[in-house]
Amino acid sequence: PEQLITGKEDAANNYARGHYTIGKEIIDGVMARINKISEACSGLQGFFIFHSFGGGTGSGFTALLMERLSCEYAKKSKLEFAVYPSPTMSSAMVEPYNSILTTHTTLDHTDCAFMVDNEAIYDICRKNLNIERPS
């Protein structure tokens, strides 16, 4: 529970809110928590970052977080695991815009990116794992 960070509102599928508004309010607390956890590590190698490209928090806040990680932990590896939105399964009209903005921002701040799209994950669940309605 000490590592759990909560907020009162989300970024409403808006990159700018996740990066510049809501993100700016919580980034210092998030970085303080990361610093505390990393100090307890005997040999920190880097970070795994899991996020969505389509939503406001996943795109905007994660871009801000990766910028800060690059500044404070420049020599540590940052491996990004991203879920790219699918046009056939889109939950918000702005997902393509969020994706473009976060792609541009995170390019300079990740060492390696692993990307999957939502539709492919759903297909794997349905066809290979026999899960009719993945959630």
Tell whether 2 is covered by a domain: no
Tell whether 10 is covered by a domain: no
Contact of 15 with 101, CB cutoff 8 Å: yes
Tell whether 5 is covered by a domain: no
For a pLDDT cut of 90, what percent of the chain falls above it? Answer: 76
Residue 46, beta-bridge partner list: 77
Tell whether 119 is covered by a domain: yes
Identify the CATH number of the domain in which residue 114 sits.
3.40.50.1440
**Residue labelled with tokens 């701040």:** 109
pLDDT at site 77: 97
Contact of 126 with 82, CB cutoff 8 Å: no
pLDDT tens digit sequence for 24-69: 999 999 999 999 999 999 999 999 999 999 999 999 999 999 999 9
> CA 53, CA 66: separation in Å to the nearest integer?
13
Both tokens assigned to 45: 């190698």
Tell whether 1 is covered by a domain: no
Q: What is the pLDDT confidence band of residue 3, given thresholds at 50, 70 and 90?
A: confident
**pLDDT at residue 74 tops 80:** yes
Tell whether 23 is covered by a domain: yes
Torsion of CA 94, 99, 101, 105, to 10 degrees: 160
Both tokens assigned to 93: 């009209």
> Domain span at residue 114?
15-127
Both tokens assigned to 113: 């990116």
Domain count within the chain: 1
